[in-house]
């Protein structure tokens, strides 16, 4: 098994090995941070729910705010058109 590791280390030079290790460690740190942020978001949503807000609607509002206004208006117009076409509005 140790021979396999030394054989593979010959494939990348020392600089490349260092870069690869650094990249992997950065990704690992960011994954931990992402988990911590996800937990904070979960807590904020629980707070919103505790204050009587509809978390499902809050998620939709957040998603809509990320969308360009013109694109959002175009999508809303198409939704209205399609809903009208099938007799829903």
Tens digits of per-residue pLDDT, 14-32? 999 999 999 999 999 999 9
Q: Are residues 7 and 33 part of one domain?
A: yes
What was the pLDDT predicted at 10? 75
Residue 24 domain-assigned (yes or no): yes
pLDDT-above-70 percentage for the chain: 90
| Surface-to-core class of residue 45, CB atoms within 10 Å of its CB (0-12 exposed, 13-18 middle, 19+ buried) | middle
Q: Is the pLDDT of residue 3 over 70?
A: no
Question: Taking a C-beta distance cutoff of 8 angstroms, is the pair 9, 17 a contact?
Answer: yes
Range of the domain at 2: 1-40
Tokens of 4: 């396999």
Question: Which residue shows structure tokens 């076409």?
Answer: 85
Split into its structural domains, the chain has a count of 2
In whole angstroms, what is the distance from residue 67 CA to residue 43 CA? 24
Q: Are residues 65 and 36 part of one domain?
A: no
């Amino acid at each position: 098994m140790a021979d396999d590791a030394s054989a593979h280390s010959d494939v990348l030079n020392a600089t490349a090995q260092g870069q690869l290790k650094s990249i992997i460690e950065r990704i690992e740190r960011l994954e931990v941070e992402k988990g911590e942020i996800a937990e904070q978001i979960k807590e904020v949503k629980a707070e919103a729910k505790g204050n009587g807000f509809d978390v499902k609607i809050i998620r939709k509002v957040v998603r809509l705010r990320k969308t360009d206004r013109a694109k959002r208006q175009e999508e809303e117009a198409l939704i209205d058109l399609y809903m009208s076409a099938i007799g829903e509005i």
